Structure 1
Amino acid sequence: MGEISEIEPVVLYEQDIDARWASFSILVRVVTKNGAVAYGEAVPTLRVLPVYSAVKQVARLFVGRDYHDVLPAHREWYRQDFFASRSFESATALSAIDMALWDLKAREFGAPLHDLLGGALRRRVRVYANGWYGGCRDPECFAEKARRVVAMGYDALKFDPFTDSFISITPQALKKAEAIVAAVRDAVGDEVDILIEHHGRFDANAAVDIAKRLEKYSPYFMEEPVHHEDIEGYRKYRSLTRLRVAMGERLIGVKEALQYLREGLVDVIQPDACNIGGVTGSLKVSTLAEAFSVEVSYHNAYGPVQFAVEVQLSAVTPTLYRLESFYDFWPQWKRDLIGDPFHVSEGAVEVPRGPGIGVTVNEKVLERYKAEPREVEPTEEPVWVVRGTW
């Protein structure tokens, strides 16, 4: 019996960063009766207060339970929360706690998490860079920073060239977006994968026009070309374009993922362990993806605990494309929070072989950046774009 004695959401903040949606971090500390401690990570964005409260609520179900019983706990929360399949806050709270429980289980056995999940298929996980183009609004800036990213050891990078376009795109804005993509392709050459982030902002007509204009630059995928919930838009996009589609960061359940997979609407699915159900939900989506011959590229944009968890998941995922990485573009304190163990070389990071998720949260760093949960002020530039690019 490994009884959970305490679950506490911890909000961290220093100052707004280029990844403004991740300027706050929400870690979830799980403590057992015998004093073992582990952490998961939840999604902040504009919902710091609601997520903080959701963790407090979900914690009431878990405290007093055996941390070994991950699946029974999932089932019980699904029974209790009538809107679990529709609530982002409920999903991210459960996901964070799930991560911590798996970490506790693996540490108890003195094994890396990937061993409990069946064993590593790879010892190095290929990654792609994101968050590298803060402040860029013109082709020259994108090209210059893209060269730096490649010089750092990355051989794939993602970026959003659409500035302040939303729903539709004007001919002038499309021309500018093409110039940015052309400049990046010219800067990095043909051997580097370029990935085009749309942030789910367009209707199908605009997305199709974009695809036809950018196809010549051979992007590896087009991410969220239409709004996440627009199934008809995805069907139309699929019927009129030839580029690979990536999506999935806003999925909050395995049955939701199945709809996109079953209809053949996605080539690279991007579950996020912070809201798909933690390790448990990620494994389910990975298994579905394998059945449909779809690649997996975990969405990874919030913080170091998530990064460590998803490196472990990537190690055991059969159809892995690459893991998203903001790691080198976070403020140093986020890396220091886990001892800064990940270093990119030849486009990949090593999979840690230590117990659990392979990293330990530095409590001194955590205390230094601990902050009160508070409302986040919306601004003209949405929280979901890389800062200074709108």
Structure 2
Amino acid sequence: MKITQIETIRLEEFPNICFVQVHTDQGHIGLGETYFAAEAVEAWIHESGAPVLLGEDPLAIERHWQAMVGFIGSRSTGVENRGRSALDIALWDIFGQVTKQPIYQLLGGKCREKIKAYNTCAGYHYTRKRPKHASLPVDNWGVGDAQGPYEDLDGFLYHAGDLAESLVEEGFMGMKIWPFDLYAEATKGRYISPADLNKALEPFRQIRERVGNKIEIMVELHSLWDLPTAKQIAQALEEFEPFWYEDPINMDNLDALQEFARSTRVRTAASETLGTRWAFRDILERNAAGVIIYDPTFTGGISEGKRIATLAETYEVPVTPHDCVGPVSFAVDVHLTINAPNAFVQECVRAFYSGWYKELVTEVPLVKDGYVYPLEGPGLGTALRPEVFDREDMSKRVSRYQKPIVSA
């Protein structure tokens, strides 16, 4: 079996997502995905990834992973690693199709039948076209044009008690919110005034007043703060018993992250911004995080996601993959968390999996009564919907295998 064609698919409505399809001469089509810098990732896939893979056996996954490391980007979540991640996922999808097994089975089977879920409180307008990044511009906060019942970003900003009650009713163990981002953008993360700090604490007050401790609160800080201000925020939050502080500072200085982690009794979670097991090893060696969050579509694909989870297990640290991106990522995450012994909760976005994910792929993992269930089909268990290729905003780029010319 050989890889005959690699194609990338992008949609103007979802400008952050780059899908990849890897075709074989036996008719298998593997699907992958990554997020952010989609045009640059597409260019890397065709310039650097395709020459490694075209004409090769798609089941030599580890060999291809090593060959796509390249000279730069090997420890980052930059363009090279995002492209490699998408291609690695597509190869695992082919592996599952060939063996007629879901990916979690190929990783060693189920450690659990289902996994607890927490809801990241993004809304319908969080990903479509704008904003193009996780930290919203000030004039986009609370735009308010709800497209359904789960406009959860507006919910945590303005109706946090109602939102928490809704999530408890649906069985979620936790909710992730980021009310501090607005104030970080105003000061570049160097200062938060007492008045602004008090405003940012209001959602936490509303949540605890409405539902008490019936739900965990994950605090997303998006790496926007310097160390002193992050510690100030953490101290102010402790009375509300948050579950974790995620990415409180940039991951550039792990000694500073270690200092932050030691300054609070609340666990530190890090970090979707890190690439490959080597970056996570440095965090684990410093005991700088109590939860490892990684994104398999950023950090090296399914191959590296499995390795990162196993590495964290040796340090007795739990893992949970990041999901506030695209539908293929969600499917990948659940395969990994169903398999990994030290996975304990799965991130999901109810506005996404109940909404636009279903516009793009054929199957989405089931979320029911606060649990996520894996897809059971071969490989990923999902594929791009045929109508994706008929969209007016779809663009596709193709690289094909050219057989060597043998001279007489």
TM range (shorter): 0.7 to 0.9
Q: Give the percent of matched residue pairs that are identical in Structure 1 and Structure 2.
A: 27
1:74 maps to 65
Q: Equivalences for 1:18-57 in 2 at 5 Å? A: 24-44=16-36, 47-57=37-47
Shift of 1:331: 7.5
- One of 150, 154, 171 as aligned partner of 1:135: 154
1:350 is matched with which residue? Answer: 373
1:20-51 Cα distance to aligned partner (Å, 9 max, x none): xx65321111111222112101112xx23212
* Match among 98, 101, 122 for residue 111 of structure 1: 101
Question: 1:19 matched to which residue of 2?
Answer: none
Give the stretch that moved more between structures: 159-168 or 31-40: 159-168
- Which string of whole-angstrom CA distances, capped at 9 and with x for unpartnered residues, describes residues 262-305 of structure 1? 10001110110101110000011001110001110101121111
Pairs within 5 Å for 1:56-67 = 56-57=46-47, 58-67=49-58
Aligned to 2:57, the other structure's residue is in SS state coil
Residues in 1 aligned to 2:76 and 2:16: alpha-carbon distance in whole angstroms:
24
Q: Which stretches in structure 1 are left out of the alignment for 5+ residues?
A: 15-21, 374-390
Deviation at 1:370, TM superposition (A): 4.6
Candidates 172, 182, 207, aligned match of 1:154: 172
Once residues 335 and 107 of structure 1 are traced to their aligned partners in structure 2, the CA distance between those partners, rounded to angstroms, is 22
Deviation at 1:372, TM superposition (A): 4.2
The structural deviation recorded for 1:366 is: 4.4
Give the Å deviation of 1:340: 4.6
Inter-partner Cα distance in structure 2 for 1:354 and 1:171: 53
**Which deviations, in whole Å up to 9, do the C-alpha atoms of 1:298-348 show, x marking residues without a partner?**
011211111111111111111112111124336734223223543322211
Q: Give the counterpart of 1:216 among 239, 247, 251.
A: 239
* Equivalent AA in structure 2 for residue 73 of structure 1: H
Contact kept in structure 1, 2:115 and 2:344, CA below 8 Å: no
Alignment of 1:334 onto 2:357:
yes
**Contact 2:366 2:374 (8 Å CA) reproduced:** no
1:102 and 1:370, CA in 2 relative to 1: closer, same or farther beyond 3 A? farther
Cα distance in 1, alignment partners of residues 43 and 15 from structure 2: 19
Distance (whole Å) between structure 1 residues aligned to residue 68 and residue 104 of structure 2: 25
RMSD over aligned Cα, in angstroms? 2.0
Q: Determine the C-alpha separation between the residues in 2 that align with 1:205 and 1:313.
A: 35
Residue 159 of structure 1 aligns to which amino acid in structure 2?
A: I
8 Å contact 1:337–1:366 — kept in the other structure?
A: no
Q: How many residues align?
A: 361
- Whole-angstrom distance in 2 between the partners of 1:329 and 1:109: 30
Kept in 2, the 8 Å contact 1:154–1:345? The answer is no
Contact (CA 8 Å) 1:154, 1:344: kept in 2 or not?
no
TM-score by length of 2: 0.83
Q: Structure 1 residue 3 and structure 2 residue 2: aligned?
A: yes
Which position in structure 1 is the counterpart of 2:163?
145
Structure 2 unmatched ranges of 5 or more? 124-151, 397-408
Contact 2:327 / 2:353 at 8 angstroms: preserved in 1?
A: no
**Larger mean Cα displacement after TM superposition, 82-91 or 200-209:** 82-91
The 3 A distance-change label for structure 1 pair 105 and 77 is: same
Matches within 5 A, 1:1-390: 2-14=1-13, 24-44=16-36, 47-57=37-47, 58-78=49-69, 80-86=70-76, 88-130=78-120, 131-132=122-123, 133-135=152-154, 138=157, 140-166=158-184, 167=189, 168-329=191-352, 332-368=355-391, 370-372=393-395
Letter in 2 for 1:273: P
State whether residues 333 and 365 of structure 1, in contact with CA within 8 Å, keep that contact through their aligned partners in structure 2.
no
Q: Which moved more, 1:118-127 or 1:339-348?
A: 339-348
Larger Rg: 2
Whole-angstrom CA distance in 1 between matches of 2:350 and 2:71 = 34
Aligned residues of 2:177 and 2:220 also touching (Cα < 8 A): yes
SS in 2 for 1:270: strand
**What residue in structure 2 maps to residue 381 of structure 1?**
none
Could you tell me how far apart the structure 2 residues matched to 1:372 and 1:355 are? 27
Cα gap change, 1:283/1:370 in structure 2, threshold over 3 Å: closer, same or farther? farther
